[in-house]
Structure 1
Amino acid sequence: MSDDPRLGRQRILAALDRGRPDRLPMLELTYWPETLERWYQEGFPTGADPVDYFGLDRVACINDLFDPSFDLSERVLEETDEYRVTVDRYGKTLKSWRHSYHPPAMLAPALRTWDEWNRVKPALTSGADKFNNPAAEADYRAARAAGHCTIITPAEPMWFVIHLTMGFEDGLMAIASQPDLVADMVTTYADYVLAMLELTLKRGYEFDALWFWSDLCYRRGLLFSPADARRYVLPHWKRFGEFCHDHGLRFMFHCDGNVGQ
């Protein structure tokens, strides 16, 4: 069994603060359903929580506490026994598989041009109405009541461009062919998220850290040039870092791939 969650929180924060925890934190944030199914076949207790069973530490990542999207109507375009084709809140078309945990395939991006961006850009206006996710609210309340390390995980601005809206192919091409459009999208989204984080804290929410999840690298390095990172990414990370410093939050970043550049 895992320790008292308050001890796990202290352990994680001590490690993040470069202190000396009683032991290294041990975390596993999620499990593929296929993995759990195999474990059940191999004797893992049905219904057991892997975090508790393996004695791991627990982090509560609160996703979408405020709306990260353009809040467009979600639509189902096609549905079979094997897959679903949908349009999501950002406006991109996705194909997801019913019997597999593989990430959805993007069939069409949310936008490619200035005109398309300008039509949806006004939706990224901060306000109390953006706190419209009862499930995230319940997750937050439960995590705080249990004493878990609680982290807010808004979308990172460049990830908003190359994953959530344009997609990798169109987004990476736009960095080269429409740099001003990419710059405006990244800046607008950073402004929106920072404004919403201010509102979040003013409403009394308390977090231990802010954590960006943004796979900006592959096995050989960045998906774009270091010069592009200096233009589009680092200035806004500096803003978020200053925000976290001013409000007593740790600032964390997750990235797949080779981050050596």
Structure 2
Amino acid sequence: MDGRTRIRHAILRRPLDRIPRYDSFWEDTLSAWLAQGMPTGAGPEDLFDFDLRIMNIDASLRCEQEILREDPECVVFRDRAGYTARKFMGKSRALEWIDHVTKDKQTWQRLRDGFRVDPAGPARLDVKSYFFHMDPYPAWSEVKQQYDAIRATGKYLAYAVYGPWEGAWRHRGYTPLLMDLAEDPLWVAEMAEAQSELVVAILRHCAALSLKPDALWLVDDLACTRGLLFSPATWRAVFKPIYRRLGQFLRDEGISFWLHCCGNCLPLLDDLIECGLEVLQPLQAQAGLDVRELKPAYGDRITFWGNINVVKLSGPAEACEAEIRDKIMVAKQGGGYIYHSDHSIPPEVTFARYQSIMELVEKYGRY
């Protein structure tokens, strides 16, 4: 069974040989692993036979990019998404946000034309992450070669892209956008809808070029460890109509709808499922989520992807195995589960430990 079939069967609750698997890694984790003996020339997705491959959609305003300052410790840069930030080199930590381009409605009206697809211009898709993508984007013809190479592997293919909330605050600013939700929610909806319409336009263009993915993986952090960033009523009024329209488009196109949402978004889960969501990731354990509780309540309506606590993975071997065994043995029942950590693998997890983790996932993930 190839990776594409395996993930499809997991989502559709069809017979499987084992649970599908995929994981994410902090930047300094992979640097440490190379020093610990990880083979060069192949990434974890090949070394550990992950079932999923990712391409990344650029749904930005395509603002001018520039490296403003660089030294061995950090780089200050202006991003095409509309922000200026400081990134610490080789470190797994959040960016330090310095500035955002959308200062007011007048600025927004001037900038919003950047949310468009130019068929003759650089592609809005690449195998490289949209995050800190300082190189020029390839031509669509080059992207077709990337796409065909992934399809030849038999892996499932998802396109990752910022969601309506994330896409809007990148150019408006995190705190200003939260204030806008309280003071001018219609403007927030306008900005979020414009970005979502661009995502749809990109997917339509991809389909015309025979570049249709298996899934769209929306990256939209709507919560933190203590709960939602805003009330359920606010999300339903501003963002749910956008999610619903996007979900309907994906359903019509035969593209599966996936979501990455950090924190605890449980108060919105029924709404998200109603909008067509099929896969939820990463199910952070530190946010109080436990797939053993979620599976009986929602497992017939959505596929869970993740929830394996990275703190346990880096702890004593017995605790690591118990975390994997106890959760997978419940989550895999009847399909509807994909292995992933509960966010990203930190450098505290050694390469040798991760090899044993994959052996345990293989052992307990078999049907």
TM-score normalised by the shorter chain: which range applies? 0.7 to 0.9
2:38 aligned with 1:36 = no
Partner SS, residue 207 of structure 1: coil
CA distance in 1, matches of 2:34, 2:200: 43
Contact 1:244–1:251 (8 Å) recurs in 2: yes
2:250 aligned with 1:244 = yes
Partner SS, residue 100 of structure 1: coil
2:193 aligned with 1:187 = yes
**Aligned pair in 2 of structure 1 residues 39, 82: CA closer, same or farther (>3 Å)?**
closer
Highest RCO, 1 vs 2 (Cα 8 Å, sep ≥ 6): 2
Partner SS, residue 151 of structure 1: strand
Partner of 1:145: 152
Contact 1:77–1:87 (8 Å) recurs in 2: yes
Can you list the C-alpha shifts for 1:33-64, whole angstroms capped at 9, x where unaligned?
3223433444444555433433x423111102
Q: How far off is 1:175 after superposition?
A: 1.0
Contact 2:189–2:239 (8 Å) recurs in 1: no
The one of 191, 196, 202 aligned to 2:208: 202
CA distance in 1, matches of 2:41, 2:208: 38
Contact 1:8–1:149 (8 Å) recurs in 2: yes
CA distance in 1, matches of 2:46, 2:117: 38
Q: How far off is 1:8 after superposition?
A: 1.7
TM-score of the two chains, using structure 1 as the length reference: 0.87
Q: How far off is 1:18 after superposition?
A: 2.4
CA distance in 2, matches of 1:157, 1:244: 15
Partner SS, residue 239 of structure 2: helix
Can you list the C-alpha shifts for 1:9-31, whole angstroms capped at 9, x where unaligned?
21111112222221111211x32
The one of 86, 90, 101 aligned to 1:95: 86
Q: Which moved more, 1:15-24 or 1:127-136?
A: 127-136
**Aligned pair in 2 of structure 1 residues 94, 22: CA closer, same or farther (>3 Å)?**
same
2:70 aligned with 1:63 = no
Q: How many equivalent residue pairs?
A: 251
The one of 263, 266, 288 aligned to 1:257: 263
2:28 aligned with 1:22 = no
CA distance in 1, matches of 2:151, 2:229: 37
Contact 1:8–1:57 (8 Å) recurs in 2: yes
Q: How far off is 1:159 after superposition?
A: 1.4
Partner SS, residue 182 of structure 2: helix
Contact 2:85–2:96 (8 Å) recurs in 1: yes
Structure 2: tracts of 5 or more residues without a match: 124-136, 268-367
Q: Give the root-mean-square deviation of aligned CA atoms.
A: 2.1
Q: How far off is 1:116 after superposition?
A: 1.2
The one of 114, 121, 126 aligned to 2:105: 114
The one of 67, 71, 83 aligned to 2:74: 83
CA distance in 1, matches of 2:14, 2:105: 48
